Structure 1
Amino acid sequence: MTQTTPTAALDDLVDGTTRTRSIEQPYGDRAQVLSQADEQSPLLDVPVAICCPNCSEAVTLYERGLPGVVPYFDAACTQCDVDLRTWCAVAVDAAYLQIVEPATLTTMVQQFWDDWLWSGITNSKGEPRTDEYTDRFATKTAAFGWDWEVTCPLCRRTRTALERNSALVGGNLDYHHWSHDPDQGVCLCRECHNIIGFDTYDTELEERAAAWGFDSRHGLQVIRLALRDAAVTGQPVGPRSATALVNRYNLLHSPERVQQLLESISEDEALRERFLDERLVAGIEANC
């Protein structure tokens, strides 16, 4: 059950600064999840080993470099007895093979899974496949013996926690559109999806945005998302948070535009009060 939160505590979500989110590239451009390889990859022109993300064992060697996009990969790690696919194998510059660490490769793959799921997985026809890959990742996690689990990127609750804490919320992530053309959005749990939209319909939110002086409902949703992120992380919204928000939540807005939106509530107390309510911290206590 969510406890009553004093207004002063909610005000703390706006002041101060926050850290930006670093992108996991521990070996620079010398290693990447195989699914991420494309025709611009620096691994096209050097010998490349395809490694297991659990033990770092090389299972395949491309002596002449990666062949551009690798649409299909199926090889087994004999040490872990796990079949590898493009989304759970790491391409490593062979010159770096002796220095890569299993734990680091594991983190790279898990971060890739998070980013891919959160941005919404579709096939070439634009049909959703997020649920399918959620199950695939869960199966591979069990095979590796990892403790990774699908989480909502905003409240950070795992799928198991969401199912346990609320029958209404459920454990699946819903795709929240920032834009339909181009199709861009982020997968959030149902509760976070509702919270950033003030628990109302899009039509009503558009009317509210116009009345408050915003271009569209997405401006309101971005501000609510930033405030809930601040509540979850304990890092108040500040001048350095815009880029981190764009990266984590696959925003269509530029960092500069996000910063303008955040400044609008920082500089206008009356406007800020319209965005602050107890729903911003709903479910957070259960995640602590």
Structure 2
Amino acid sequence: MTQPASTADLDELVDTTAATRSTEQPYGDHAQILSQADDQSPLLDVPVAVCCPNCGEAVTLHERGLPGDVPYFDSACTQCDVDVRTWCAVGIDAAYHQIVEPAALTTMVQQFWDDWLWSGITNSKGEPRTDEYTERFATKSTAFGWNWEVTCPLCRRTRTALERDSALVGGNLDYHHWSHNPDQGVCLCRECHNIIGFDTYDTELEERAESWGFDSRHDLQVIRLALRDAAVTGRPVGIRSTTALVDRYNLLHSPESVRQLLESIGNNESLRELFLDKRLVAGIDANC
């Protein structure tokens, strides 16, 4: 069971202002991770340099543009002496290659890894491959000499920190379903997974949602997630764009519906108190 905390301790997490969303595409349509390429890619009809995300050097050139879907790519960067795969190779409009900064490509790939892992990686049969790619990305990060590690998107603790903090929590991320049909969710550490669900069973959470006037347990989980995100980032809920929350946590809710949920607790003190407890900040001190 969660332990209640005073409203004064956590009240500052609730606010109603807005923020600007940061971009994850430093070169817009002129650069794309090969794994993201499809028959709608803007790089189909222009010469494309496929580049190493570490040094920025071109490892190959497609003079007639990318061939649409790129199911397999395995070329070595001779400068870094590292094999480059579809999930770390960056296709760049060749006309822009000379102005590209390697550090921007590194950040772009690392963000793609985070987003892909957090949304849950599966094969064509829907079987999970998150653990497999966690190892692949970690190995490639080491090969490039990057200081990147798998993290929980909510508490921001690295896999190493999670393993250190608690044998029970462990370092793996668990897939939290927002929906089974369609399959949509986010990978969180076990502790965050439990916290957004009030450390209780789904059936109990559904009953609680109904008694509190919400549509489903997912409404409660989204509110808890937003509050914990605010506690981790140090920004009140309203400062965090609801669009950013939807994108980061792969929510099924729309930005507008998330905004309405947060307003419901922002405008109702007694309701807000039901969501605030000490568990919201569990493990956060270890990440600071």
Bin the TM-score by the shorter chain: over 0.9
TM-score by length of 1: 0.97
What does 1:96-245 correspond to in 2, within 5 Å? 96-238=96-238, 241-245=241-245
**1:52 aligned onto 2:75:** no
1:87-126 deviation digits (Å, cap 9, x = unpaired): 0100000000100111000000000000000000000110
Deviations 1:184-233 (A, max 9, x none): 00000000000000000000000000111111000000000000000000
Q: Partner of 1:44: helix, strand, or coil?
A: coil
Letter aligned with residue 266 of structure 1: G
The answer as to 2:274 corresponding to 1:274 is: yes
Q: Is 1:43 matched up with 2:37?
A: no
Say whether the 8 Å CA contact 2:15–2:239 is kept in structure 1.
Answer: no
CA distance in structure 2 between the aligned counterparts of 1:5 and 1:144, rounded to whole angstroms: 45
Deviations 1:46-82, CA, capped at 9 Å, x for gaps: 0000000000010010000000010000100011000
Question: Residues of 2 paired with 1:276 and 1:20: CA distance?
Answer: 26
Deviating more after overlay: 34-43 vs 125-134: 34-43
Identity %: 85
Residue 18 of structure 1 deviates from its aligned partner by 5.1
- The DSSP-based 3-state class of the residue aligned with 2:175 is strand
Closer, same or farther in 2 for the Cα pair 1:7/1:205, shift >3 Å? same
Shift of 1:15: 2.0
For residues 169 and 105 of structure 1, the distance between their equivalents in structure 2, rounded to whole angstroms, comes to: 33
After superposition, the Cα gap between the structure-2 partners of 1:21 and 1:172, relative to the gap in structure 1 and judged at 3 Å, is: farther
Following superposition, the deviation at residue 23 of structure 1 comes to 3.1
Whether the 8 Å contact between 1:20 and 1:243 is mirrored in structure 2 is no
Residues 226-267 of structure 1: CA distance to partner in whole angstroms, max 9, x if unpaired? 000000001101176211110100000111111111111011
Using the TM superposition, give the Cα deviation of residue 9 of structure 1 relative to its aligned residue in structure 2, in angstroms.
3.0
Asked if 2 retains the 8 angstrom alpha-carbon contact of 1:173 and 1:188, the reply is yes
* Deviation of the 1:22 alpha carbon: 1.7
Q: TM-score, normalised by structure 2?
A: 0.97
Deviation by residue 1:123-148 (Cα, 9 ceiling, x = unmatched): 01100000000000010011000000
1:69 alignment counterpart: 69
Q: 1:184 touches 1:252 (CA, 8 Å); kept in 2?
A: yes
Mark the CA change 1:124 to 1:20 in structure 2 (over 3 Å): closer, same or farther: farther
Number of positions where the alignment pairs a residue of Structure 1 with one of Structure 2: 285
Letter in 2 for 1:74: D
**How far off its partner does 1:17 sit?**
3.0
Judge conservation of contact 2:6–2:277 (CA < 8 Å) in 1: no
Distance (whole Å) between structure 2 residues aligned to residue 57 and residue 171 of structure 1: 34
Gaps in structure 2 of 5+ consecutive residues: none
CA contact (8 A) 1:46 1:64 kept: yes
Unaligned runs of 5+ in 1: none
In the aligned structure 2, how far is the partner of 1:179 from the partner of 1:188? 15
Query: In 1, Cα distance between the equivalents of 2:125 and 2:201?
Result: 28
What pairs with 1:84-99 in structure 2 (closer than 5 Å)?
Answer: 84-99=84-99
Which stretch of structure 1 is more off in the superposition, 120-129 or 13-22? 13-22
Q: Distance in 2 between matches of 1:9 and 1:233?
A: 16
